[in-house]
Amino acid sequence: MLRQGIARISSRQVRNLTPSVNRIAFNAAKHTPTKAPGIIFQAVRAIGSTASAPKQLLPKQLVMPSRAFATQVSENPFLNWQLFPDFQNLLTQCKPATAIPIFEKFLDNAEQQFKQLETNFKPTWEGSIGLVQKLEDDISRAYGILAHFNGVKNSDDIRQTLEALQPKIVKLGLQLNQSLPKYNALLELRETASSWNALDATQKRIVEQTLRDMKHAGVGFAPGSPEKIRFNEIRERLSKLSLTFGNNVLDATKAYKEVVDKSHLSGLSDKFLETLSKNAKRLGIEHEGAYCITLDFPIYGPFMQNCSNRALREKVYLSNIVKASTGKVNNEPIINEILALRQEESELLGYKTYADLSLSVKMAQSVPAAEELLDRLFDASVNPAKAELSKLTDYAAEIGHPTPLAAWDISYISEQYRKHLFKYDEETIAQYFALPKVLDGLFTVASEVLGVDVEEIDAAEQRAMGITTWHKDVKVFKVTEGEEVRAYFYGDFYSRPEEKRSGAWMDTVTTRSKDKNGSVRIPVAYLICNQPAPASADEPSLMKFRDVETLFHEFGHCLQHMLTTVDYPQASGINGVEWDFVEVASQFMENFCNEPEWLNKHTGHYKTGEPMEQGMVDALIKNREFLSGLATLRQIHFSKTDLFLHAYFNPPKSSSDKSVFDVEAELAKKTVLYPRVPEDRFLCSFSHIFGGGYAAGYYSYKWSETYSADAYAAFEEAMSKDGQKGVREEGKLYRDTVLALGGGTPPQDVWKMFRGRPEVNIDALLRHSGLLSTSK
């Protein structure tokens, strides 16, 4: 989702259709597109995910085995492949005139097929989950390609095609989601001891999760009952409201323009001034020397960080925090209605609050558990944060900036202080991170730590294997362990703003599964980034350090998808992994970017090959600790506000009742250290929880970060105890647990198997953030 202002960086998208699938299927990672992908996005939201499920995007998780081994050849080109879709050819099939009839026929068939299957559900594995697996896999594979093109080859054709298919997709989604025969068969399966005991633990978990998700989708209400009617009304209304919420934020963002001349813009780089000037032209402001500040993050963020004109910063800041809180785009009534409806929905489903419903499908399980972690992190970071604020204040005084600092000074002074401490600018650092070198380093980690080899498949070999891609810059990789091929992935690294959405994500082409004969279909993944393309033919792509972190992050998701050993597609790889645990594998990989040893070994100037000077290495390592107390508090504030609103708050019935803003202000007394502006209406643009899938789930960022840091600490311990040998052993254990078990085993058990203890130790995260020594 978006990473404007509120998001640290992490985020994900989920694509799935059926409720058995209402679990995380796809995690578009920490840098996800900032724009909702239009129609598809809406389509799947309308399908209605469970309360806790993140934004449902597309039918993607529905995966099943044996397709790769099926002998019949489909006439549908979107289905007629095993591991490698013929992207080159498929791109030519996306015109509405071609694609719409193909998919209409396909979706109609799918609907008919499902109706047929519905008469055959039986209380056995093969008679329930197994029965629809192939159908789900077909939908996933075929529709997944359109979704993929929508992200990386966006065009009017693709959009038109998807728009036309939306109603059918929604309908099919509902049909699969709310099938009573399927639900009843699963219930009976669970209740019949002989058949239930014949299932293995993973199968049992899949059945339980499917039942739970179907229940959350409303299948348990009797057809035509008042509860069912009301539940569906609520669902429909909620999906409209969250769209309106998002649209209001967009409209309010678009509506604001601050046009100034250059003399007001001290402190900004020439490059950014040029961006502001272009921004003015883009918005039709033609007069000479006009610079335009807007509230979209690529403009607002750098402006607040760098403009030394304090009065102008104040003006823009105050406009930003009241965004979407007045007039036609006022989100306050929408927030209240959303909260009230979520509460009603949860009660209908038998939960006390919406937070209980949301947490019931997450690793944290309960509100107190999530709160406890947040409280511990708060205790550890509040004093360091206070110290950081006083350092910032001192620094401000030193450079002649007025103090005490106001809310509109924090970004600015922080950035000036960062430049003062670290000295290196991003462009200089990027010269040491050429893509080929970084990939080499990344694959060395995979091989030395995890014992798998990654190798690029060159053009000749691709031709021999019948592999085509959607763009000439896309690379294809093979992942092997010894002689055995474990997986493949496509790497689409460069930014192409004209056709590719911004952000970075991982997605699945195929999911590992095993058919009745024991044949395994191996997983194939997409790894999508948005770093700069090479500036010229003889120069490599030079990566900003955050691009490097992003690449490691997405590769971490890919690893979990590719190294799974689960045979059932519903729980293999990233499928079925809890929302607050799925970012563990990805964030874990990021740790390697900050390793001095890694930085020394795997970086070098792209022209001379010279290693980074020590000062730069130190700066990159230290950057992770920079103002981390304040950053942690900020995340805690969002998390606590989110939980509070969904666990303890009743929307006001009269003007004397507390408003959502009162509640937020109350919480801010503890978690926001600088003076909060009374007119702050930030909640009106908190899209994560009112327009997206993070409701009563924002804490997941910190939750999974705590686990990923503690996982990395296991490697640090192994290294200090047994050196490289220890790391390899730990790597094997990590691979056999966190990466291999996917969604087939409860995350608590996975964690215990890996770490040897049930609890997570928050010290690792604190230590990595430089918060440990200064905390109590």
Tell me if 26 sits within 8 A of 13, measured CB to CB: yes
Q: Minimal distance in Å, beta carbon 30 to Zn ion? A: 5
Tell me if 442 sits within 8 A of 551, measured CB to CB: yes
Nearer to Zn ion, 549 or 567 (CB): 549
Q: What is the CA radius of gyration of the chain?
A: 26
The Cβ of residue 167 has, within 10 Å, a number of other Cβ atoms equal to 12
Cα angle 769, 7, 644; round to 5? 95
Q: Minimal distance in Å, beta carbon 491 to Zn ion? A: 16
The Cβ of residue 310 has, within 10 Å, a number of other Cβ atoms equal to 14
Q: Minimal distance in Å, beta carbon 325 to Zn ion? A: 31
Is 118 in the active site? no
Nearer to Zn ion, 29 or 135 (CB): 29
Nearer to Zn ion, 41 or 581 (CB): 581
Tell me if 632 sits within 8 A of 379, measured CB to CB: no
Chain-centre distance of CA 10, in angstroms?
A: 6
Chain-centre distance of CA 466, in angstroms?
A: 32
Q: Minimal distance in Å, beta carbon 594 to Zn ion? A: 17
* The dihedral sign for the CA sequence 525, 526, 531, 537: positive
Nearer to Zn ion, 527 or 672 (CB): 527
Q: Where are the alpha helices (DSSP H) in 153-179?
A: 156-177
Specify which residues 476 forms β-bridges with.
490
User: Residue 468: phi, psi to the nearest 5?
Assistant: -125, 165
Token pair of 585 as six digits = 């594998």
Tell me which residue has tokens 């937020």. 664
Q: Minimal distance in Å, beta carbon 28 to Zn ion? A: 7
Contacts of 318 (CB under 8 A, 6+ apart): 408, 677, 679
The Cβ of residue 369 has, within 10 Å, a number of other Cβ atoms equal to 15
Amino acid at 762: I
User: Residue 509: phi, psi to the nearest 5?
Assistant: -95, -55
Nearer to Zn ion, 27 or 161 (CB): 27
Nearer to Zn ion, 27 or 128 (CB): 27
> If phi over 0 gives left and psi between -120 and 50 gives alpha, with beta otherwise, what is residue 627?
left
Tell me which residue has tokens 């981390």. 628
Cis status, amide bond into 404, omega within 30 of 0: yes
Amino acid at 465: M
Q: Minimal distance in Å, beta carbon 384 to Zn ion? A: 26
Tell me which residue has tokens 């103090």. 403
Q: Minimal distance in Å, beta carbon 292 to Zn ion? A: 33
Nearer to Zn ion, 22 or 27 (CB): 27
Among residues 136, 554, 590, 705, which one is catalytic?
A: 554
Nearer to Zn ion, 26 or 78 (CB): 26
Instruction: Identify the three-state secondary structure at position 667.
Output: helix
Tell me if 299 sits within 8 A of 4, measured CB to CB: no
Q: Minimal distance in Å, beta carbon 344 to Zn ion? A: 32
Token pair of 94 as six digits = 């996306």
Q: Where are the beta strands (DSSP E) in 448-559?
A: 453-456, 475-481, 484-494, 505-510, 513-514, 520-521, 524-531
Tell me if 217 sits within 8 A of 178, measured CB to CB: yes
Terminal C-alpha separation, the chain: 35
Tell me which residue has its CB nearest to Zn ion: 29
Nearest Cα residue to 708 out of 583, 562, 539, 617:
583
How would DSSP label each residue in 173-222? HHHHHT-HHHHHHHHHHHH-HHHHHTS-HHHHHHHHHHHHHHHHTTTTSP
Specify which residues 410 forms β-bridges with.
none
Nearer to Zn ion, 241 or 562 (CB): 562
Q: Minimal distance in Å, beta carbon 697 to Zn ion? A: 14
The Cα-based distances of 682 to 323, 558, 679 in angstroms read: 7, 34, 9
Nearer to Zn ion, 585 or 619 (CB): 585
Nearer to Zn ion, 27 or 513 (CB): 27
Contacts of 307 (CB under 8 A, 6+ apart): 265, 266, 267, 268, 313, 412
What's the CA gap between 711 and 704, in Å, rounded?
A: 10
Q: Minimal distance in Å, beta carbon 14 to Zn ion? A: 11
Cα angle 732, 440, 598; round to 5? 70
Residues that bind Zn ion (CB under 5 A): 27, 29-30, 583, 586
Nearer to Zn ion, 567 or 583 (CB): 583
Q: Which residues are catalytic?
A: 554
